[in-house]
Amino acid sequence: MIINFHNNLYKKKAIKSAATDYKELADFDISENKNYIQVELKNINNDVKNSIKDEFCNYVLHKSRR
C-alpha cells in the first residue's frame, strides 16, 4: 500500500513520528520527491488491513497541525 502526502500540507517529521507510533501494525518505508512524501506500508497486520490507511492519514494530519 502506498500513500502520498503533499509537502505543502504535511510535515515529514510528523510522518516519521506517526510511522514510529504505528510500527507494531506495519512496516513503513518513507521516501520523498519534489512535491510528495511517499509512504509504503508492508506486512500490514491483518486486524487493521482495511482501516490502517485512513487511520494513519488522520493521525499524520493531526501531528502535522501541532
Average pLDDT for 26-47: 97
Quickly state the pLDDT bin for 65 (edges 50, 70, 90): confident
Quickly state the pLDDT bin for 52 (edges 50, 70, 90): very high
Q: Supply the DSSP symbol for 34.
A: S
Q: How many angstroms separate the CA atoms of 14 and 19, rounded?
A: 9
Question: In terms of C-beta density within 10 A (0-12 exposed, 13-18 middle, 19 or more buried), how is residue 34 classed?
Answer: exposed
Q: Give yes or no for residue 36 having a pLDDT over 80.
A: yes
First to last CA, the chain: 26
User: What are the residue ranges spanned by the domains of the chain?
Assistant: 2-64
Neighbouring CB atoms inside 10 A of 5's CB total: 22
CB 18 within 8 A of CB 59: yes
